[in-house]
Amino acid sequence: MTDAATALLRTLAASLRWPDGQPLPLSTPVPEVPRPKQPLQDAAVLVPILRTRGGYDVVLTRRTDHLSAHAGQMSFPGGRRDPGDASLLDTALRETAEEIGVAPAEVAVLGRLNRLYTPSGYDIQPFVGVLAESTRFAADPREVAAIMRVPLRHLVDRRNYLRRIRRFESRDIEYVAVDYDDQEIWGATARILVDLVDQLEQCEASRCLLVSFLAD
């Protein structure tokens, strides 16, 4: 399985290297998200893919319950852009260091996914990076209640993605979610994962690898 996972990530790296400013193609319909009335704030997240002895895991965090936005939700390390950040990639790497203790030098950045906005008012740029198996994590207790690792092969299996309904501002909103270890991954995090899977499936070679990856 390790060889297949390595080849899959090489294909992913190539598929993510698109010129800045050009949207990447999407093949999976995702329910519309209510657009906020207030101006959007620039933000960025890192999708950390951790090498393991058995393949690869995607690293997520569970946000603490006292935060003002997205409290208790599963998310990727990231946040709003600070004035001192030279780029949105710098934002993603800085926030990753602050939230889970992984320094920018420890991240092999593969590329970017599509930008997306949230009803809470953020315009998010996701980046994808690979972490070595030896990576050690240190959660910031002010923002991160737990660090969670989800096997990549669980996330590339479309059978694990479900459509659900939540009440938002006095109306029912349809959304996409994926469950793992009694945790619901939804909202912008799930939409980013769908985009990641879409990009993996853009290439014919990647599609073949996904079949063998899921069969292991």
Strand duo 122-131 + 41-52: pairing: parallel
8 Å CB contact between 199 and 11: no
Q: Which one of 64-73, 177-186, 206-215 scores highest in mean pLDDT?
A: 177-186
Structure confidence at residue 107 (pLDDT) = 96
| Domain annotation for the chain: domains and CATH numbers | 2-215 (3.90.79.10)
Q: pLDDT digits over 94-134, tens only?
A: 999 999 999 999 999 999 999 999 888 899 999 999 999 99
Residue 206 has pLDDT above 80, yes or no: no
Amino acid at 196: L
Lowest mean pLDDT among 105-109, 154-158, 196-200, 210-214: 210-214
104 vs 92: CA distance, rounded Å: 9
Per-residue confidence (pLDDT) for residue 166, from 0 to 100: 76
**Token pair in block for residue 29:** 């319909």
Q: Is 169's pLDDT higher than 80?
A: no
Per-residue pLDDT of 8-58, as tens digits, reads 788 888 878 766 667 777 777 788 877 878 899 999 999 999 999 888 999
Q: What tens digit of pLDDT does each residue of 63-99 get?
A: 886 655 555 689 999 999 999 999 999 999 999 999 9
Map tokens 């780029």 to a residue.
87
pLDDT computed for residue 215 by the predictor: 62
Q: Which residue has the higher pLDDT, 60 or 171?
A: 60
Radius of gyration for the alpha carbons in the chain, expressed in angstroms and rounded: 16
Identify whether the C-beta of residue 196 lies closer than 8 Å to the C-beta of residue 67: no
